Amino acid sequence: MLRFIKRKLAWSALKDRSYEFLFHDMGLDEVVSIDCETTGLNPRKDDIVSVGAVKITRNLIRTSAAFNVKVKPRKELTAESIKIHQITKSEVADGASIQSELPALLHFIGNRPLVGYWISFDVKMLNKEVFRMLGITLQNPTIDVCDMYYDRKYSKAPPGTKIDLRFAAILEDLQLPPLQAHDALNDAISTAQMYLALKDLKSRGAYLKRVRNRDAPALPVG
Amino acid sequence: MPQAFDVQNPPFDRLTYSEGEKLRSKLDIGYWGPGQTVIPQGGGAEHLHVIIKGAVEERDGDEPLAVLHAKDSFDAQALVQGMAGSAFVATEETLCYLVPKDVILDLIKANSGFAAFFYSELSRKLSDYAEQQGDGAGSVNNVLRARVRDTRLHEVCYIDGTASIKDAARMMEDYHNNTLFVKDGERIGIITGTNLSKSAVLMEMPLSTKVRDVAHFDIFAVDSDDFIFEALIKMTRHRVRRLAVVSGGQFVGTLEDIDILGLVAGNTQLIPGRIDRARSVADLEPAARDIQDQVARLHRQDVKVDVIAEITSELNRALFSKLFSFIAPPSIKEAGCLIVMGSEGRREQTVRTDQDNGLLLAHPVPEEDLAAFRRDFTAALERFDFPPCPGNIMVGNPQWSQTVDGFIQQLKSWVLTPDDLSAMNLGVFYDAVPVTGDPALLERAKSAMRNLMRGESAYLARFARAIDQFEEASASVLASIMATVGVGSDVIHIKRSGVFPIVHGVRVMSIDTGVIATSTMERIDALAAMSVIGEEFAGDLKSALAYFMELRLRSQLVAMRTGRQEEEAIVHIKELSSRERDLMREALKVTKKFREIVRSRYHLSAM
């Protein structure tokens, strides 16, 4: 009920009616795996530097028609963030602004469910921009591969089990080939692979083996 | 998009840089859980699957045939014929790159190295051939869509399984047939000449051994209505060189890989006959054209470039000799020796680039005879599409058609004139061989030249200096190859950076040490035999030269096809596969080392 009301409110708040498609179920058997690289981890202060997204149709990852842009952040890149995603100031200097790339991204994702690693963070970052443009936030359902992984790995774990939800740890556990990390598109592709593998495990009712790990690091970071 | 796709992984290592990038941009990724069928038996496929991780079992019915792992790809047959011979089932969580069918078919058409992966060695020749016929799709299909019955099949001969292998050998001999069908009760098998010699010679089986003990009863067969293309796939898949051919349930013959080649290959043996039978200059014209055409054909058949050059030189000499007999007046026939020089003399010319020829006379002949000969001989060669020599080293030039005494004076003046033109003239002449007439005339002139130059280190040094002519270019190219490997739009001038420094350096050392051989390969051997250069280095040098000549020929053939003559000695690094780039780098390194040897031998740095 609450969800319905929120939707109604958003519908009437939509600034640009040509974006009504964001509310329509297109009846496609597709989801979109998405990843944003940002200047930092604080959605209020930090900005998007790049966005990568791929559509997943049933068991296929549509890498041939991927979405991949580097944009110019509103603020200067900090040394800290450059170290993580290796996008330097000069690379984004002539990049377009996120606002100018947003229409293409919104058309790309439509109302398809969004799949991501720690997807709530990416959605928060995007919503900041979507709100600025359309007066609404994204209506898409979200699927977090962390949750899917937790479900297949730790949901039956005895209390006290150390939990490792790091991106690299999930990749390794699922034996997925490592791509160069902290590239938005590569991360979106890796996430898409995680999604398909985990969905398959679930459909077969299979679980991932737990090894007694002694020293798993505390908690994930993007 | 996925940059992680490994284009170094065969068969993708055969793609050019731009083809690899194009392929990457078209890739999708597919996921299959354990037990899921990727391609059903008899099903078609819209993609070539390249395994990223996991395992896929190839099955015939329930029977597993093979397990494919990361980097393996499947299935060419499903892709091209639209019907997989076996099923492909994921046995683990499996991810595959999906290369769309259209992309693969385009690459097969565009890149013969890539196509080879699909249709084996033989079919590469077919697609090379088709590609060179010009219009892409149609011609590949034409060749591959010929039917098995369109080839010349070998007759079916039956032998009883209880006969001896000696009987089998006699039967093969009598019927000129290397393949016999063996009837052994209900079974039918095949025995080949190779089987016989293996059992008799290698395994020392007695000649009374029964045929059925050495025959194969697992016969691979095609229907006579099948496409050639299907026969090729079968040969590739089962690694056999011949197939039984069936029609209406009966064996009707055998098909060998060589027969398929026969569909497209020409016939080298025909040309000498045509030259022999010529009755006029006009009769020689088609033969002259055939010589040139067969260069491309032999190259398609994977004949090594030095062999192509040798065959071509042989035929050119026969052609020149015949032409001489038509054109030379009696006075010149009696007194003259026709010579060819430069690459033609070294037997290193494949695609005609120029004509280096000359005439030595034992004594003066009437001036009008000589003038007429010069004019007519040159005109005839032009008619045969031999490009004129840019340095004017031709019979038409009086310097190159005179009495041997006059010519020796000419040689002296070249030795004494230390300019580039003289050096080039002497170099080209040192490669001379006689074509027709008295060879002693040429030998006199050559030994005069050797005596003039042998041990003349100052002159030799000036002569040797030409190897550094293009040094700048090749040094920077070498550096850039080393640096990049993969990207960059650099080109290599293969003649300047590769062929010429080796040919010329070897020539200088040969003059210096009195080596008489004219081909560069033989000269290198002779230099190694005299320990002028090391044995091992001689081998490297020959490989490098052969590699450069091969690349040169390829560029020349491309230039001929595209009409871009200015590209005839150019190699685009980005169009080389990674393996070829490695070879190129090695070959350039050898060349560099050789320059240094020549330079230090003749103290070139001091000049």
What confidence tens digit (pLDDT) does each residue in B65-107 have? 777 888 888 887 677 666 777 789 999 899 999 999 888 878 8
Q: Which residues of B touch A186 (CB under 8 A)?
A: 2-4
Scanning every residue of chain A, which has its alpha carbon at the shortest distance from the alpha carbon of B54?
A175
Structural domains of chain B, ranges and CATH numbers in brackets: 12-111 (2.60.120.10), 148-263 (3.10.580.10), 270-453 (3.30.460), 465-601 (1.20.120)
Q: Is A179 touching B (CB cutoff 8 A)?
A: yes
Task: State the nearest Cα–Cα gap between B22 and chain A, in angstroms.
Answer: 10
Asked if A115 reaches chain B (Cβ–Cβ under 8 Å), the answer is no
**pLDDT in the model for residue B536:** 87
Q: Report, in this order, helix, strand and coil percent for chain B, each rounded to 5.
A: 55, 15, 25
Q: Does residue A180 sit at the B interface (CB-CB below 8 Å)?
A: yes
- Tokens 């699927």 locate to A143
Taking an 8 Å cut-off on Cβ atoms, the answer to whether A197 and B98 are in contact is no
**What ipTM did this prediction achieve?**
0.82
- Amino acid identity of B137? A
pLDDT computed for residue B69 by the predictor: 83
* Residue A27: pLDDT over 90: no
C-alpha B331/C-alpha B354 separation (Å) is 28
- Report pLDDT for B263: 54
pLDDT in tens, B252-301: 988 876 666 555 444 444 566 667 778 888 888 878 887 887 787 667 65
pLDDT tens for B519-541 read 999 999 999 999 999 888 998 89
B52 inside 8 A of chain A by CB? yes
Q: Which of B33, B53, B98 sits opposite A204 (nearest CB)?
A: B33
Distance CA(B122)–CA(A12), nearest Å, equals 68
Residues B400/B406/B412/B418 CA torsion (nearest 10 deg): -40
Q: In whole angstroms, what is the distance from residue B591 CA to residue B24 CA?
A: 36
- Alpha carbon distance B281, B279 (integer Å): 7
Contact B31 A66 (CB under 8 A): no
Mean pLDDT of B475-503: 64
Task: For residues B507 and B503, give the distance between their C-alpha atoms in angstroms, rounded to a whole number.
Answer: 6
Helices (H), chain A: 2-13, 79-85, 89-93, 98-109, 119-134, 145-153, 167-173, 184-203
CA B366/CA B566 separation, integer angstroms: 42
Report the alpha-carbon distance of residue B5 to residue A180 in Å, rounded: 12
* A positions 117-156 inside 8 Å of B (CB): none
Identify which has the larger pLDDT, A57 or A214. A57
Give contacts of A175 with chain B, Cβ < 8 Å. Answer: 53, 93
Mean pLDDT confidence for B51-58: 89
* Chain A touched by B25 (CB under 8 Å): yes
Put simply, the answer to whether A197 touches B93 (Cβ < 8 Å) is: yes
For residue B213, cis peptide bond before it (omega within 30 degrees of 0): no
For the record, the structure tokens of B443 come out as 């030998």
Distance between CA atoms of B174 and B180, rounded to whole angstroms? 12
H helices of B563-603, in order, are 578-601
**Which chain B positions have a beta carbon within 8 Å of A61's beta carbon?**
28-31
Q: What is the pLDDT of residue A1?
A: 61
Q: Which residues contact B77 (CB under 8 A, 6 or more apart)?
A: B83, B84, B85, B233, B237
pLDDT digits (tens, 9 = 90+) for A106-147: 999 998 999 999 999 999 999 999 999 998 999 899 999 999
DSSP notation for B211-275: HHHH-B----EEETTSBHHHHHHHHHHHT-SEEEEEETTEEEEEEEHHHHHHHH---TTHHHHHH
Question: What does pLDDT average to over chain B?
Answer: 80
**pLDDT > 50? residue B511:** yes
Q: Is the pLDDT of residue B51 over 80?
A: yes
Contact B29 A197 (CB under 8 A): no
Alpha-helical regions (H) of A32-97: 79-85, 89-93
How far apart CA A48 and CA A123 sit, in angstroms, is 11
Q: What is the mean pLDDT of residues B319-333?
A: 92
Helix count (H) and strand count (E) of chain A? 8, 7
Identify which of B32, B34, B95 has the shortest CB distance to residue A193.
B95
Q: Which residue of A has its CA nearest to B94?
A: A197
Q: Which of B90, B74, B98, B82 is nearest to B45 (CA)?
A: B82
- E-strand stretches of B319-453: 336-340, 357-361, 401-403, 433-437
Nearest to B25 among A64, A179, A185 (CB): A64
SS3 labels along B135-169 = CHHHHHHHHHCCEHHHCCCECCCEEECCCEHHHHH
Q: Which of B28, B34, B53 lies closest to A62 in CB terms?
A: B28
Q: Quick check: B16 and B111 in contact, CB under 8 A? A: yes
Axis crossing angle, helix B578-601 with helix B500-513, rounded to the nearest 10: 30
Q: Measured between CB atoms, does A12 come within 8 Å of chain B?
A: no
Report angle CA A145, A151, A152 to the nearest 5 degrees: 90
B139: closest CA among B291, B301, B264, B255? B264
Query: What domains are defined for chain A?
Result: 2-144 (3.30.420.10)
Sign for the CA dihedral angle at B584, B588, B594, B595 comes to positive
Q: In this complex, is the C-beta atom of B55 within 8 Å of any C-beta atom belonging to chain A? A: no
Dihedral (C-alpha) B13, B18, B19, B23: value to the nearest 10 degrees?
Answer: 100
Phi-psi region of A95 (alpha: psi -120 to 50; beta: other; left: phi over 0): beta
Lowest mean per-residue pLDDT among A195-209, B220-234, B251-265, B588-602: B251-265
| Confidence grade of residue A217 (pLDDT, cut at 50, 70, 90) | very low
